[in-house]
Amino acid sequence: MKTAVIVTTYNRPDALAVVLEGYCGQSDQDFELVVADDGSKEETAEVARQFARRTPFPVTHIWQEDRGFRAAAIRNRAVASTDADYVVFTDGDCVPSRHFVRVHKQLAEPGYFLGSNRVLLSAGLTSHVLGQRLPIHAWSGVDWIQPWFRREVNRLLPLITLPDAPFRKWTPGRWKGIKTCNLSMWRTDLIGVNGLDESYEGWGLEDSDLIIRLLHAGVKHKNARMAATVFHLWHPEQDRGHLQENQKRLNDLLQSTTVRAAVGLDQYGFA
């Protein structure tokens, strides 16, 4: 199963470097990595080039002009750049746990998408991780206990690892709480719903829109929590000026049976 990991980023080269280091340390390195760059300056491209020179897997940098928050568009461009069978979405401020890729591949199943969770780091711990280039992707559960006692992470429960089991399919229609910082699916399913809807501009809800349309298309949710965790580096809250408009768009979708994105992958040659 050819797998692509799509890492979305915008002007956080220090965070991206720590994230890419996490992928260099994955227990399964049979994948390609696409840096989906939503208009960053040259420093981000240089980070991607530096890692591409030393990774055992291919690294591609896909860039689009900076015209505000357009995560849906750059993710679609990244999907169009790969012919992988399976796509894992994440963000350039989310450090993968050591077995992140392996678990997404192991839990992948036809007819399902995978949604998993994250551990949130405080501003102070994030600053320390970035300044010291700490290899938190390789930390064990024991290593996280002290930061948790200092309230530098929000929870430890996601670090418990549970195997594939029937409970993972108990909420097949779930869409709330599933985010593109930790999401995977078959590329054919993604193409079937025309990818992400680029009508969503500005922060918020383009990931929920994708999940709802997958559910409308008959693709079910499979829970990858307590298996494939990412560590979310702190950042200031995004500008939510478009959230009301995006919420209305999502509410309309929930009342419909729409499957295909209004503005999606078909722009890039997908029927």
| Angstrom distances, CA of residue 198 to CA of 30, 35, 63, 152, 258 | 30, 18, 16, 35, 15
Cα–Cα distance, 231 to 20 (Å, whole number): 13
Predicted local confidence at residue 237, as pLDDT: 77
Predicted local confidence at residue 45, as pLDDT: 98
Cα–Cα distance, 194 to 160 (Å, whole number): 35
Q: Which CATH superfamily is domain 3-268 in?
A: Spore Coat Polysaccharide Biosynthesis Protein SpsA; Chain A (3.90.550.10)
Cα–Cα distance, 265 to 81 (Å, whole number): 11
| Structural contact between residues 59 and 82, judged by C-beta atoms closer than 8 angstroms | no
| Structural contact between residues 8 and 80, judged by C-beta atoms closer than 8 angstroms | no
- From first to last of its 271 residues, the chain has per-residue pLDDT tens of 999 999 999 999 999 999 999 999 999 999 999 999 999 999 999 999 999 999 999 999 999 999 988 999 999 999 999 999 999 999 999 999 999 999 999 999 999 999 999 999 999 999 999 999 999 999 998 999 999 999 999 999 999 999 999 999 999 999 999 999 999 999 999 999 999 999 987 777 999 999 999 999 999 999 999 999 999 999 987 766 678 889 999 999 999 999 999 999 999 987 5
